[in-house]
Structure formats: C-alpha cells, structure tokens
Amino acid sequence: MTPLSPDLAAPAWRQAVTDSWGDRFGAVEVTRERVELRSLSSVIELVAPEPYLSAQALLCAFTRAGIAPYLPVLAGPPSAGPLLLGPLVERHPDGLLILDGVHRCLAALRQGLETVWVSVLTAETHPPAAGSPVPLTEVTPSGSARTRTPLFRHTGNPDFRPTDVFLSRAQAAARREIERLRGPRRHPAESRD
C-alpha cells in the first residue's frame, strides 16, 4: 500500500462531481477533513456481508501500513494498482451523508475508531437525499450472504447520487494527476548512452 498526497482526492472528487452532477449541485467545493464517524449518516441501513468483509480487510491493511484511514493510497503496484481515494461525504442539510464509503466507515466505527479522513462535498444547492438518512451507528451488516446491497433500491429516485460515476471519474482524474506529477516517461531504449 503506497500513500499518496493527501491533497490528491479532493480536486479529483470535485472535478468528477462537477462534470457528472454540476447541474444538480451547482457550484461544488470538496475538502479533505477528518470527521467523527458518529456524525455520519447513510441512505443504506443494511449492508451486504461481502463488501463489508472487504472493508474490514482494507481497514486492517491501512493499520498494518501505518496509514490513517482513509487517506488516498495505491493498493498495489504504482502503475496498475487500485487507487483508493477514501470516502466521499456530502455536507447536506440533514448532516454529513456518506455518498461513497459506507462499508469502510462502518468497518472503522465497529473497530472502535472515532474518526476517519474523508472528502467532504459542499454544494451550492441541496437536492433531497435519495432515501431517509440513517445514522451510521444504526447501519448493520446483514447476516445473510444473499443480501443484495440495499443501495440499489434508490437508483430509480431522481435524487440518487450516481456515486459509481463520481468514483470512476474521480479515479481517472487522480490517475491523470499522478501521471502529470511523475512527468514524461522515458522509454528504456532512450536512457542508454
């Protein structure tokens, strides 16, 4: 696990959200903040066991690597490893609403952590939440392997935030920034004298 600049995630999320939902949110600002897990809520009240177990394993990997959850990291080789930007939370009139990362935040809460690093989205306008917000402390993992992730029940709602689109665009923007910072690559044949 390779730590990345803590400042990498916020601009990537901001660009992705603006490109994807700027018409709904208006002007968007994203900041990196350490938030209290008990201050978070979600429109998901029951999480499927497999993603939750993956989130627990990821939290252990952060701990083993000595990296504060959930700062941006590359979880594998620099050129091809998964890029993890950390959870995305919306500052909403109902409070801090998790848009991406409910499994990770729940894993951290249940492991006794009080705070985690997230990217906090503050928008000019506030479309209603896609469902009724539930405090993170009331979100529970399902005991059944057949549980479908309840998130999908809100996809038909026009206020459903397309977090999969936000995430893929944010990761692409962050990868472009990483490549820009690395500079042009030299072909091995070019480095010979």
Q: Is residue 69 within 8 Å of 55, Cβ to Cβ? A: no
β-pair type (134-135, 140-141):
unpaired
Residue 87's SS3 state is: coil
More confident residue, 188 or 132: 132
Q: Supply the pLDDT for residue 75.
A: 84
Give the sheet arrangement for strand 115-123, strand by strand.
28-36, 115-123, 88-92, 95-100, 40-42, 134-135
Q: How confident is the model at residue 193 (pLDDT cuts 50, 70, 90)?
A: very low
- % of the chain with per-residue pLDDT over 70: 85
Kindly report, residue by residue over 61-77, the tens digit of the pLDDT.
999 999 999 999 988 77
pLDDT for the residue 190: 54
Alpha-carbon distances of 39 from 10, 105, 135, rounded to whole Å: 20, 11, 8
Average pLDDT, stretch 151-155? 52
3-state secondary structure of 111: coil
pLDDT band at 11 (very low <50, low <70, confident <90, very high): very high
Task: Please report the pLDDT score of residue 157 as a whole number.
Answer: 64
58 vs 69: CA distance, rounded Å: 9
- Are 25 and 123 spatial neighbours (Cβ–Cβ below 8 Å)? yes
Distance between first and last Cα of the chain: 34
d(CA 29, CA 123) in angstroms, rounded, equals: 6
Of residues 145, 155, 175, the one with CA closest to residue 47: 145
Q: Which residues contact 130 (CB under 8 A, 6 or more apart)?
A: 43, 154, 157, 159, 160, 161
DSSP assignment, residue 101?
-
Residues 133, 45 contacting (CB under 8 angstroms): no
